[in-house]
Chain A
Amino acid sequence: MEKTDGKSYQKFGMVIDLDKCTGCGSCMVACMSENNISFRPDETDKLRSISWMRVYKLSNQKPFPQTDLCYLPMPCMHCEGADSGHSPCISVCPVTATDYDKSTGIVSQIYTRCFGCRYCMVACPYQARYFNWWDPVWPKGMEKMLNPDVSPRMRGVVEKCSFCYHRLQSARDKAHLQGRPEIPEQSYQTACAQACPAGAITFGDLKNANHSISSLVKPDFNQGGKSKNPKVFRLLEKLDTKPSLYYSSSKQWVRDMSDNKLREEKPQPTITMQNSRERRN
């Protein structure tokens, strides 16, 4: 943990092991339940559906049976942005409803401040922000399951993943009561990381050597947090948004899909109907 002007600076981040991820959707549901995300009878219009954690299904686009697929969960990337804090969404919000907390590396969103201009959604290249197109309505009785730590959003505002910020607050309180200087890794975990049946999601402080994430990612902060681990990558690194969200995959084709390339390599000629796909990393 790096110390600056006496204050301890953390940078919370996440690394998702795509080799382990099975696309089961536990992260999505855990998030919905933890963060009081509203639901409607028809949620099949994904362009208007709110799901802070969204699982993409990537395909290598090759003909059967060389076809391969990979699930890629996507919460908010909590970009640090060009010069610490100049995240794509934050700089554009006219009402200061979203902010990058330098001491935690978390991008916040104030729902009662947001007035729904959706400029931030246009600015975000990851489409990690969601707009409340409808009034949130819970079926009779179901409002009983709402989590008091997270306020439900009203119609007409933008919401997004907060890295379960409320959990950080309660972890801080606990640490304070126990007189601990810093929060133990396990006492602050996001709902998705906690639920993941495959244990594919690792969450923690990228700047804290004791946290498993820093050893998995080995971020190089002189390179804008780029990972020193060849298997680990971030999405759209060329845009210099400096996301705090890392992915790890042993499949080359998946890593290739992480960013836009100038010269698109042509798909290899496929072997004649040989009914097997060997994984060559």
Chain B
Amino acid sequence: MKAVIPSGEIPRCSSRHFYLRLLPVLILLAWGIYAMLLVWIKGLNQTNMNNTYGFALWIWADLAIIALGGGAFFTGLLTYFFGKTELRSIINFAVLVGVICYSSALLILALDVGQPLRFWFIYWHANVHSMLTEVAFCLTVYFVILNIEYLPALMEHPKLQQIPFFKNLGRNTHAVMGLFAGIGVFLSFFHQGSLGGMTGVLYGRPFAYREGLLIWPWTFFLFTWSAAAAGPCFTLLLARLTEMVSGKKLVPGVVKDLLAKISGWMIITYIVAKTADTIFWATNTAPKAGFVWTRFYTESPLYHGYWILVAEILICGFIPGLILISKRGRHHKRLCWIAVLLVICGVCLNRWSLIMQTVAMPVLPFEKWVFYLPSWQEIATTLIPVSLGIIIIALSYRHLKLFPQEKELN
């Protein structure tokens, strides 16, 4: 087909070239879909999960993806409520990333349950005391909102612009975007938190359990916070990658700098809080359950050793944080991007240890540590978000005005 160029003037590569470059990604997607069908038809025996590893790779992927998708709500918050209007040049993209992340998260959740056809029980027979219920409710609603937020960008498409109804729809939606963004932010605070709460409330699992405020364990707030910190970094990273692939400048440096700076401050403050939380947990919470905190890290040092703590808090926390808040750090191109990457790794690592170490760690004194390697089906399906993301971004970039300033920047 003939590539439809947004508002005419910006050149795009030929369809042939475009799809040829997309081919490997499509293959990756196909592999994932095959594995997905296997899991749905044959059941969860296709995975390497077991009665000890009830939560594994998939849940981790969910937590990580949603944290990284946090860029959408946080950028929205900054744009519409803290008047950082310059961010408008990246908000569309942030929202798109959000859409991708959340849709993949929902897909993986649908894979992870033993009876996918009963998914709606979670609304129908909701147990409001369960963090997972909170997650499910917010997630679905927020997903709708994300799509609405993405509507204007979609309506920018020339073909749709020709149709008055959609032209107006786009404009009007944009007009009340503040409202939607508002709800979105509100919901995000909750479901990001609830994801943290999921492990925090497990008072039967001394590694995960945290005291907290009212019904919310500290991890509730830490998760929201870290998502707000890592989300923008992820948006930045993807924008950068898009620039590299398209070979065009898409986002003005000042915007990147601003976003990097903000998430820098977020990560620093977050990691300080996280450190405080860890210390309190190690000295108060864990001992109450009869655990010397070192036990969590010394009994299977290879897989669940101190290195996790060091990597998460120091290498992926303070270091990138300091880099990003310092002007010099941000302006040193390579250093800046390394920092962005570290932040992303940090938040993923945090989710990883909170899920994996929690279940691998025996609570009964006479039980053993359990190890787990994901099956290829799990890996393939976990890669769906990647391939899907690339494809959606590519298509959107090709056919929509994803980056409003693309024209003047080139």
Known: A116-B44, A117-B112, A236-B364. A47 touches B130 (CB 8 A): no
Q: Mark B102-115, 1 if CB is under 8 A from A, else 0.
A: 00000000001111
Q: Mark A234-276, 1 if CB is under 8 A from B, else 0.
A: 0110111100000000000000011111100000000000000
Give the docked Cα–Cα distance between A130 and B359 (Å). Answer: 14
Question: Is A95 a contact of B122 with CB atoms below 8 Å?
Answer: yes
Give the docked Cα–Cα distance between A49 and B198 (Å). Answer: 26
Q: Mark A93-131, 1 if CB is under 8 A from B, else 0.
A: 111110000000000000001111111011111110111
Give the docked Cα–Cα distance between A175 and B242 (Å). Answer: 74
Question: Is B50 a contact of A122 with CB atoms below 8 Å?
Answer: no
**Residues in B whose Cβ lies below 8 Å from that of A258:** 365
User: How far does the Cβ of A90 sit from chain B's closest Cβ, in whole Å?
Assistant: 8
Question: Is A135 a contact of B43 with CB atoms below 8 Å?
Answer: yes
Q: Is A138 an interface residue (CB 8 A)?
A: no
Complex partner residue of B50 from A47, A119, A157, CB under 8 angstroms: A47
Known: A92-B131, A129-B51. A123 touches B114 (CB 8 A): no
Known: A94-B130, A122-B54, A156-B114. A133 touches B45 (CB 8 A): yes
Complex partner residue of B132 from A114, A117, A158, A238, CB under 8 angstroms: A117
Complex partner residue of B125 from A96, A261, A262, CB under 8 angstroms: A96
Residue of B49, B55, B131, B203 with most partner-chain A CB within 10 A: B203
Complex partner residue of B366 from A56, A132, A135, A241, CB under 8 angstroms: A56
Q: Is B18 an interface residue (CB 8 A)?
A: no
Give the docked Cα–Cα distance between A116 and B114 (Å). Answer: 4
Residue of A97, A118, A127, A236 with most partner-chain B CB within 10 A: A118
**Residues in A whose Cβ lies below 8 Å from that of B54:** 118-119, 121-122, 131
Does more than half of chain A's interface fall in helix, strand or loop, or is it mixed? loop
**Residues in A whose Cβ lies below 8 Å from that of B114:** 114-118, 131-132, 155-158
**Residues in A whose Cβ lies below 8 Å from that of B130:** 91-94, 119
Q: Is A150 an interface residue (CB 8 A)?
A: no
Complex partner residue of A262 from B121, B124, B290, CB under 8 angstroms: B290
Q: Is B20 an interface residue (CB 8 A)?
A: no
User: How far does the Cβ of A99 sit from chain B's closest Cβ, in whole Å?
Assistant: 9
User: How far does the Cβ of B236 sit from chain A's closest Cβ, in whole Å?
Assistant: 33
Give the docked Cα–Cα distance between A115 and B292 (Å). Answer: 36
Question: Is A127 a contact of B367 with CB atoms below 8 Å?
Answer: yes
User: How far does the Cβ of A219 sit from chain B's closest Cβ, in whole Å?
Assistant: 21
Does more than half of chain B's interface fall in helix, strand or loop, or is it mixed? loop
Q: Is B279 an interface residue (CB 8 A)?
A: no
Question: Is B119 a contact of A115 with CB atoms below 8 Å?
Answer: yes
Q: Is A58 an interface residue (CB 8 A)?
A: yes
Interface residues on chain B, number (Cβ under 8 Å): 50
**Residues in B whose Cβ lies below 8 Å from that of A154:** 115
Q: Is B77 an interface residue (CB 8 A)?
A: no
Complex partner residue of A239 from B44, B201, B203, CB under 8 angstroms: B203
Q: Is B202 an interface residue (CB 8 A)?
A: yes
**Residues in B whose Cβ lies below 8 Å from that of A91:** 129-130, 201
Question: Is A127 a contact of B365 with CB atoms below 8 Å?
Answer: no
Question: Is B52 a contact of A47 with CB atoms below 8 Å?
Answer: yes
**Residues in A whose Cβ lies below 8 Å from that of B131:** 92
**Residues in A whose Cβ lies below 8 Å from that of B116:** 115
User: How far does the Cβ of A44 sit from chain B's closest Cβ, in whole Å?
Assistant: 13
Question: Is A116 a contact of B366 with CB atoms below 8 Å?
Answer: no
The closest CB in chain B to the CB of A58 belongs to B366
Q: Is A24 an interface residue (CB 8 A)?
A: no
Complex partner residue of A88 from B43, B118, B204, CB under 8 angstroms: B204
Question: Is A92 a contact of B113 with CB atoms below 8 Å?
Answer: no
Residues of A within 8 A of B (CB): 45, 47-48, 56, 58, 72, 82, 88, 91-97, 113-119, 121-127, 129-135, 154-158, 235-236, 238-241, 257-262
Known: A47-B53, A117-B112, A156-B43. 13 other contacts (CB 8 A): A88-B203, A92-B201, A94-B122, A94-B126, A97-B125, A116-B44, A134-B43, A154-B115, A155-B43, A156-B44, A238-B289, A261-B290, A262-B287
Residues of B within 8 A of A (CB): 43-45, 49-55, 112-116, 118-119, 121-122, 124-127, 129-133, 136, 198, 201-206, 287-292, 358-359, 363-367, 370
Can you name 13 A-B residue pairings with CB atoms under 8 Å?
Answer: A91-B130, A92-B132, A93-B127, A94-B122, A115-B114, A116-B114, A116-B115, A116-B118, A117-B114, A125-B363, A134-B45, A257-B366, A260-B206
